[in-house]
Amino acid sequence: MPEAPSMEELLRNEPTNWGKWGEQDEIGALNYLTAQEVLRGVAHIRTGSVFTLQRLIGDPNGDPVWPGRSPAQRTMILDESSWDSEGAPAFPGGLHYADDKLDAFLQGSTQYDALGHVWYGGKIWNGYDARTTVGGLDKASVAPIAERGVVGRGVLLDMARFRGKENLDKGETFTHEDLEACAKQQGVTIDKHDVLVIRTNFLKLFFDQGEEFYEGFCEPGLAYSPELVRWFQEREIPNLVTDTIANEVTYDPGSGVALPLHCALMRNLGVVFTEICDLEKLAASCAEDGQYTFLYTAAPLKVNRATGSPVNPVVIK
């Protein structure tokens, strides 16, 4: 393959939403999720069934993370053995308790990306200078997203079932047209302002293969095209949610560029990304009752100046 073009060259004609919600905006396309959109999502609650989408932190079988990141490490600080020797905490009445701490990448589990997480050309979301990321994100961190919260109509697009597979394969791609075809087969439409929840079940391979999973690492996912970017802009999609580590095919098969949709959608359009979700119970329920729309809710942790944050999205059908 020829040398990959620069991100500036690849995306030179792509639209942006910079300034659409003001010069100080830090939540991007989440602005589409008005009170009316919240109520539209509530209208899709049928049975009151609740599904949580976070993957377990500290899974005995391992935690899938982006290459180069390490899984979270939980350390026990106090437990009953702490009172086996002198010097243990002493409380009136003899109270004992357990305490622990977590050492983790903020994007090392099910998580929301801050809009300032990726950039090119020296500018992050909304045109802020990339130097505002030095030492922490002064602009477009995850904190404004966490402060606001995310609530709206969600739609599950089960690409694995649509293609008749248990899971999508390494490097397998799909387009916005595939998403539309999947929705049609499921008997739903993708409407303006929908939160898109896409199932690939690719992380099944992480648990099946262990360390071999990272050999020739290239996840399946959406592939960049100008048409796909325009589709996201016209649909005014606020939030892209998937069960993969990075929400798009790792290396664009056409250009070889790594993660161009992070830039074309997140950095340019303000589409918020949610990654590493566990969609298996939700997908099984949707396949059983045929209801693929629901109320989607999420609120990442409020971490000052952070590039991302753990989250446990809650879906109510």
Task: Give the tens place of pLDDT for each residue, 27-39.
Answer: 999 999 999 999 9
Instruction: Note whether residue 186 is domain-resident.
Output: yes
Q: How far apart are CA 168 and CA 243, in angstroms?
A: 11
Instruction: State the pLDDT at residue 256.
Output: 95
Instruction: State the pLDDT at residue 87.
Output: 86
Q: Is 218 in contact with 257 (CB distance < 8 Å)?
A: no
- Residues 61 and 77 grouped into a single domain: no
Instruction: Note whether residue 1 is domain-resident.
Output: no
- Residues 231 and 88 grouped into a single domain: no
- Residues 92 and 165 grouped into a single domain: no
Instruction: State the pLDDT at residue 217.
Output: 96
The pLDDT of 70-76, averaged and rounded, is 96
Task: Express as a percent the part of the chain with pLDDT over 70.
Answer: 99
Q: Is 313 in contact with 297 (CB distance < 8 Å)?
A: yes
Instruction: State the pLDDT at residue 1.
Output: 53
Give Cα 147 to chain centroid, integer Å. 17
- Residues 175 and 197 grouped into a single domain: yes
- Residues 36 and 183 grouped into a single domain: yes
Q: Is residue 149 left, alpha or beta, with left meaning phi > 0 and alpha meaning psi from -120 to 50? A: left
Instruction: Note whether residue 301 is domain-resident.
Output: yes
Is the pLDDT at 175 greater than 90? The verdict is: yes
When pLDDT is cut at 50, 70 and 90, the band that residue 3 belongs to is confident
Domain finish residue from 81, 103, 125:
103
Contacts of 14 (CB under 8 A, 6+ apart): 226, 229, 264, 268
Q: Provide DSSP, 125-154.
A: GGG-BGGGGTTS-SSS-SHHHHHH-EEEEE
CATH of the domain at 219: 3.50.30.50
The pLDDT of 257-283, averaged and rounded, is 98
Is the pLDDT at 259 greater than 60? The verdict is: yes
Q: How far apart are CA 148 and CA 169, in angstroms?
A: 36
- In tens, the pLDDT along 145-163 reads 999 999 999 999 999 999 9
The pLDDT of 60-79, averaged and rounded, is 95
Q: Which domain holds residue 89?
A: 73-103
Instruction: State the pLDDT at residue 278.
Output: 98
**Which residue stretches of 91-223 are H helix?**
143-148, 159-162, 176-186, 204-209
When pLDDT is cut at 50, 70 and 90, the band that residue 2 belongs to is low
- Residues 109 and 163 grouped into a single domain: yes
Which of 71-75's residues contact partners 24+ apart within 8 Å by CB, and which partners? 71/104, 71/108, 72/102, 72/103, 72/104, 72/105, 72/108, 72/109, 73/102, 73/103, 73/104, 74/100, 74/101, 74/102, 75/100, 75/101, 75/102, 75/103
Instruction: State the pLDDT at residue 299.
Output: 97
| Pairing of β 314-316 and β 293-298 | antiparallel
Mean pLDDT for the chain overall: 97
- In tens, the pLDDT along 205-249 reads 999 999 899 999 999 999 999 999 999 999 999 999 999 999 999
Task: Express as a percent the part of the chain with pLDDT over 90.
Answer: 97
Is the pLDDT at 300 greater than 90? The verdict is: yes
The pLDDT of 165-173, averaged and rounded, is 98
CA-CA-CA-CA dihedral for 271, 190, 156, 219, to nearest 10: -50
- Residues 86 and 230 grouped into a single domain: no
Instruction: Note whether residue 2 is domain-resident.
Output: no
Q: Is 309 in contact with 303 (CB distance < 8 Å)?
A: yes
- Residues 21 and 143 grouped into a single domain: yes
Instruction: State the pLDDT at residue 42.
Output: 98
- Residues 128 and 77 grouped into a single domain: no
Per the structure, how many domains does the chain have? 2
Phi, psi for 52 (deg, rounded to 5): -100, 140
Instruction: Note whether residue 153 is domain-resident.
Output: yes
Instruction: Note whether residue 266 is domain-resident.
Output: yes
Q: Which residue has the higher pLDDT, 1 or 300?
A: 300
R_g (Cα) of the chain, nearest Å: 21
Instruction: State the pLDDT at residue 86.
Output: 87
Instruction: State the pLDDT at residue 131.
Output: 98
- Residues 126 and 96 grouped into a single domain: no
Give the pTM.
Answer: 0.96
- Residues 84 and 160 grouped into a single domain: no
- Residues 212 and 166 grouped into a single domain: yes
Residue found by looking up tokens 């599904």 in the block? 51
CA 30 vs CA 62, 269, 279: distances in Å: 32, 11, 22
